[in-house]
């Protein structure tokens, strides 16, 4: 059986274990959404980092290729 905690409308004490449980489903849903948003942002940032590393690599190839071209043909 769940016993309401005085002064806290969403908190209940489990009679068997003594644990206090938060039964506010809106707060839980907001928490889960924030975790999902954080994961999405992390994935987007990781993708941007990969793209930047690829661009850097391509730029290095261009610079090294132009040096080779210059020394080979001049």
Residue keyed to tokens 């690599």: 57
Q: Is 3 strand, coil or helix?
A: strand
For residue 17, is pLDDT > 90?
yes
**Contact between residue 27 and residue 10 where contact means Cβ atoms under 8 Å apart:** yes
Query: Which range marks the domain in which residue 52 is found?
Result: 2-73
Predicted local distance difference test score (pLDDT) of residue 63: 85
Q: How confident is the model at residue 21 (pLDDT cuts 50, 70, 90)?
A: very high
The long-range contacts involving 7-11, CB below 8 angstroms and separated by at least 24 positions, are: none
25 or 68: whose pLDDT is higher?
25
Quote the CA–CA distance of 18 and 5 in Å, as a whole number.
Answer: 11
Number of domains the chain contains? 1
pLDDT (mean) for 18-44: 96
Residue 68 has what pLDDT? 59
């Amino acid at each position: 059986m769940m016993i309401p905690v005085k002064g806290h409308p969403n908190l209940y004490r489990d009679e068997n274990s003594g644990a206090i449980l938060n039964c506010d489903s809106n707060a839980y849903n907001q928490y889960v959404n924030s975790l999902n948003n954080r994961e999405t942002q992390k994935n987007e940032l990781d993708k941007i980092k990969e793209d930047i590393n690829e661009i850097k690599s391509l730029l290095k190839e261009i610079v090294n290729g132009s040096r080779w071209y210059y020394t080979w043909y001049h």
